[in-house]
Amino acid sequence: MSMVADTSVPVSARRPRKLPVEASILAVLVGIALIFELLGWTLRGQSFLGNPSRLLIIILQVSIVGLLAVGVTQVIITTGIDLSSGSVLALSAMVAASLAQESDYARAVYPGLGDLPILIPVAAGLLVGALAGLCNGTLVTLGRLPPFIATLGMMVTARGLARYYTHGQPISMLTDKFTAIGGGANPVLIFLVVAAIFHVALRYTRYGKYTYAIGGNMQAARVSGINVTRHLMLVYTIAGGLSGLAGIIMAARATSGQAGMGMSYELDAIAAAVIGGTSLSGGIGRITGTVIGTLILGVMTSGFTFLGVDAYIQDIVKGLIIIAAVMADQFRRKRRSI
């Protein structure tokens, strides 16, 4: 099987072994962190990095976006895109929260439901996410819609459904067992485990080889016997499932499910993937890069708060970094093709 994948990935798309692209992204991450370290000493008189709990918080505040980014990275590798992740997050947060309310709360969405085992809201949230993803996959493959359009439709629809579910009312008074999922460093743990799983899956399994093969050249992948339709559906379903997981964690962390959750997170997730070296033309990208891209976003949020800089400056810098990342990607490819 590996032979199939090897021939279908264009030579130009293969990473040169000696200089992994992650090295340069890692350098950017370290560089940004050092700038904050320097500014911290000069402006605030204290260390930015020399604080273990800050390092945890940096990952904690981006672990939800990170989960979405792991999903969208895989979709982008297949030359697709997923714009629906933030809205699907909200929908699954609402559904999961509605099944995890305290049984003695009089104004529950489903009064008299009783305390359900924790597995039920979690499974429901994952299922909602996976179903939305499957819908995306079906629209892209069988419906022959461009991924941008299919997932744009899902983005609007899922947000509408999330609002319609309780007519915009937040769902609160969740059981302690459920909120424990988002407590402490759990989101970080879940994010890192999920990232590790998909890193291995993409690099060392047939699933990954198919994914890169389809992204490198879809026609060649089809001709060489890969069931492209089925595989794309799987990739979109996984991305949806990860959005569902992110929704569960977000509801647990905020101890509330709200229809406005995850607004424009899909763009942060795509940004993390792109900063991390995933090419929007498909075929190229790694989870390690995406994780570093996610951390760059986290370091910036923490760093600017640490310095007491206005939140809007952060968006300006984030935008510039995304542009720089894509320009670097173009530049690298041009150089390779010469």
Site residues, another protein (CB under 8 A): 44, 46, 51, 53-54, 57, 60-61, 107, 163, 167-170, 172-173, 183-184, 250, 253-256, 258-261, 263, 301-302, 305-306, 308, 310-312
Query: If 0-12 CB within 10 Å is exposed, 13-18 middle and 19+ buried, where does residue 249 land?
Result: buried
> Residue 39 CB, nearest distance to another protein (Å)?
13
Q: Which is nearer to another protein, 179 or 224 (CB)?
A: 179
Distance of alpha carbon 153 from alpha carbon 237, whole angstroms: 16
Contact 264, 279 (CB under 8 A): no
Q: Which is nearer to another protein, 20 or 170 (CB)?
A: 170
Distance of alpha carbon 102 from alpha carbon 323, whole angstroms: 46
Contact 168, 259 (CB under 8 A): yes
> Residue 226 CB, nearest distance to another protein (Å)?
40
Q: Which is nearer to another protein, 224 or 301 (CB)?
A: 301
Q: Which is nearer to another protein, 167 or 334 (CB)?
A: 167
> Residue 2 CB, nearest distance to another protein (Å)?
43
Distances from the Cα of 194 to the Cαs of 147, 172, 276, in angstroms? 24, 27, 17
> Residue 151 CB, nearest distance to another protein (Å)?
19
> Residue 109 CB, nearest distance to another protein (Å)?
13
Q: Which is nearer to another protein, 210 or 306 (CB)?
A: 306
Distance of alpha carbon 297 from alpha carbon 55, whole angstroms: 13
User: Which DSSP category does 15 fall into?
Assistant: P
